[in-house]
Structures are given as C-alpha cells and as structure tokens.
Structure 1
Amino acid sequence: MYFGKRRKRNDDGRVPPNQNVTERWPVLHYGNVPHYPSLDEWDLHVYGMVERPKRFTYKELLQLPKTTVVNDIHCVTGWSKLDNTWEGVLVKDVIASCGIHPLAKHVLLHAEEGWTANLPIEDFLKETSLLAMKHNNELLSPEHGYPLRGVFPHLYFWKSAKWLRGIEFLPLDTPGFWERNGYHNYGDPWKEQRFTWD
C-alpha cells in the first residue's frame, strides 16, 4: 500500500510559518538513546480502554501489512524536512483487533526512558498515522527511534514518539512529557502552537 506523493520543492503552502527547510535530519531528544542488541525481548503494548489488550512482538508487527507514506515533518524548534519516505504499519492495522471502548477519547504514547506524548484519539487514528520502522528506505537509526516510532505529520514532530513501547487509550487527556514542560498540548504547526501560551 502507498499513500502520499512526492511534491516539488517550490510548491507553495508546504512549510508552516517561521519554519526553515533543511536537508538534514537533526537529532533532538531528552534522555539516553536506547540500544537493542536483540529485539527478542522487545514488545509493544496496546492497553487502557480497549476490549482486548494486546502485546506485539517485533516479529508480529513485521507480519502486519506494510505501508509506505511520503510526508513533510515540522519540528517545534523551527526546522522542516520535506519528502520523507516512511515504511511501517498503519495505526488502524495495529489496533484493529483491540476493540476501542467508545468512551476512549485520548491516547498516551509511552516510549523508553519514561517519555510520553498525548494525542486526541481522532489524531491518532488519522489515515496518515503510521508506526514507522524505516525512513528513506533504511531502518530507523537508534537516534531517530529504532525500532519503532510514531509518525503523525500534521502535528509538530515531538508528538511522533521515538522508541515507542506502549499505546494507552484513555477517557481524558493526560499531558505527555513535553506538554508538562511548557510545550503546547496539541501542537498544530500551521497555528504555531509551540508553547503553552501559544
């Protein structure tokens, strides 16, 4: 399956206000970079307000249908990187068998190092939402989230959690790590929702 298209660099309207386009992919994170000598013990938990909580091994994720998506990403620190090709599994395919409770309204993503990011459920479930394993045809590097990171390109990129380990469905919003430390709770780059006061 393939979504998105490559667009010309001179297309208008691709870069949100006060962003600079870069060819590089800067590395920004809090805490240590996890390294996995083996993925035999790695897993991803889907839990909270679901009828059937699920634990995926890495091998089980690899057995789900693969999707390739092309999109632009925008960092709250002011850079944008255009035409990123991601490969992974669509969020809807990962949670298809879990049975989301109708009162679940928010998602809290859990990553290594205790890092979290919050999303309204409709943003998490967007057609463009992906759990990525590859970027530009190569496995994610440890610094960029290997073995799995969320990709939610319509929001500032801190919402696209690196080193993803858990997806928790909740009835109420629970701010994540950066949201508790001064970043905007939603993070729309087109509205420049960078910080709490924006």
Structure 2
Amino acid sequence: MSRTDTESRVPPGQRLTTGFPVLHHGEVPYYRDMRLWDLKLLGLVEENVTISYAEFMKLPRRTFVNDIHCVTTWSKLDNEWEGVAVATIMEKVKLKPEAKYVMLHAERGWTTNLPLEDFLRDTSFFALKHNGELLTPEHGYPVRMVVPHLYFWKSAKWLRAVEFRATDRPGFWERNGYHMYGDPWLEQRYDFE
C-alpha cells in the first residue's frame, strides 16, 4: 500500500499506531464463571431477549477487517476481527416502529448511544477476537461492540445489553463532554466542536 493510500484512510488530526492502546474508565471486569454473562436485547422490541454466553458462542461468526480511530488521536489500520454480525443478533428480536436509537450498556454502568441506522450497518458487529486472538479483558472480553465508522469509544467494551429507544440520550462519555455522534472524519470529538 502506498503512503497516499494509507493517508487517505487516516482522518484529520489522527496519527497511526501499530500497537493497540488500552483506554477506559474504571476497573477492568474479569469473568471467572461465564454462566454469569449474558447479553440482553431490550427496550422497544416486541419481547425482551436474553442470550446466554453458551448460546452466543454458538452463533455464526464472520471475519471483519477495518480501521479504527480513537478520540485520543490514534488510528490503527487493517484490524482483523472475528465476531457476530448485528444482522444475526437482530434475527432474535422484532423492533417496534418507534425505535430510532440504541443505548449500549456495558459492565460497571458504562453506556454509549448510537442512532439505530449506525448500529444496523453491515460494518457493525459484536467482536470476540482481534487479529486471531480472543479479546483480552482490557480490550473488552468476552464481547465488545465494534462500530468502526465512528470514534472507538462508541465500540463499547464488556457489552451486556442493547437497549432500543425512541429518543437519543447521552451515554457515559457523552455526558462528560464527548460529542453525541463522533464522526472521526468531521473531528467530532467533543460537544463544543
């Protein structure tokens, strides 16, 4: 790949890294008994659904390749992930017509918001592995959301629930000054920009 090709994949104000920096708020959860982990699909659905870890691990998986961009100005190109497509998870629920937004709920009360159309993109998925290895606890084990077209804080680590909503509401970082949407190509880092 030429330098020009690489440069065209890096949003303004970002710098490339070959590492995978670890950034989060609070303590890292460590799971010892996976029977205690599940994923809930709730809110504006005909019926709430709970998917156990054992059930989640039996879902069909795909390989996804993307670039990721952190609000702290690093970008990492050519990430290869293994995960479950959003479309696969959506087969388990029937949305009510007023559902327009998603709130992702993670461990320790952490949340982030997304428009429904961004959650449903075929590039968004539930990640289990990164570059051939299971996610580490620091990177979101057992399951993290990946929404690669937005800043990486929208890719919630330690995912536990997807709440479908009629209205947008700020999540943890959005309440603390981050932009409500987070498009890296528009440098939507903070709410005052």
Q: Distance in 2 between matches of 1:149 and 1:111?
A: 9
Q: Which residue of 1 aligns with 2:80?
A: 85
For residues 19 and 152 of structure 2, what CA distance do their matches in structure 1 show?
15
Deviates more, 1:157-166 or 1:90-99: 90-99
Tell me how far apart the structure 2 counterparts of residues 154 and 66 of structure 1 sit (CA, whole Å): 20
Deviation of 1:9 after TM superposition, in Å, equals: 6.1
90-99 or 22-31, which deviates more: 90-99
The answer to whether the Cα contact below 8 Å between 1:52 and 1:97 also exists between their aligned partners in 2 is no
Match of 2:172 among 172, 177, 187: 177
- Could you tell me whether the CA contact under 8 Å between 1:111 and 1:163 is conserved in 2? yes
Q: Deviations over 1:72-117 (max 9, x none)?
A: 0000000000000011101111121200111100000000010000
The DSSP-based 3-state class of the residue aligned with 1:40 is: helix
Q: Does 1:119 align with 2:114?
A: yes
Shift of 1:37: 1.0
* Of 103-112 and 54-63, the range deviating more from structure 2: 54-63
In 2, the alpha carbon distance for the partners of 1:58 and 1:133 equals 12
CA distance in 2, matches of 1:182, 1:97: 34
Unaligned runs of 5+ in 1: 1-7
Which runs of structure 1 show a deviation greater than 3 angstroms over 4 or more consecutive aligned residues?
none
- TM-score, normalisation: structure 2: 0.97
For 1:68 and 1:59, how far apart are their aligned partners in 2? 20
In structure 1, give the amino acid aligned to 2:183.
D
Find the partner of 1:98 among 79, 93, 105.
93
RMSD of Structure 2 on Structure 1 (CA): 0.8
- Alignment correspondent of 1:34: 29
3-state SS in 1 of match to 2:77: strand
Structure number having the greater helix percentage: 2
2:55 is the counterpart of 1:60? yes
Aligned equivalent of 1:186, options 176, 181, 185: 181
CA distance in 2 between counterparts of 1:183 and 1:9 reads: 33
Distance 1:41 1:166, change over 3 A: same
Mean CA deviation greater in 187-196 or 58-67: 58-67
Is 1:107 aligned to 2:102, yes or no? yes
**TM superposition shift of 1:161:** 0.1
What is the TM-score when the length of structure 1 is the normalising length?
0.95
Residues 110 and 167 of structure 1 are in contact (CA less than 8 Å); yes or no, is this contact kept in structure 2?
yes
Question: 2:20 is matched by which residue type in structure 1?
Answer: W
2:152, 2:2 → 1: CA distance? 20
Percent pairwise identity: 60
Matched positions, count = 191
Letter in structure 2 aligned against 1:125: L
1:148 and 2:143 matched: yes
Q: Which residue of 2 aligns with 1:133?
A: 128
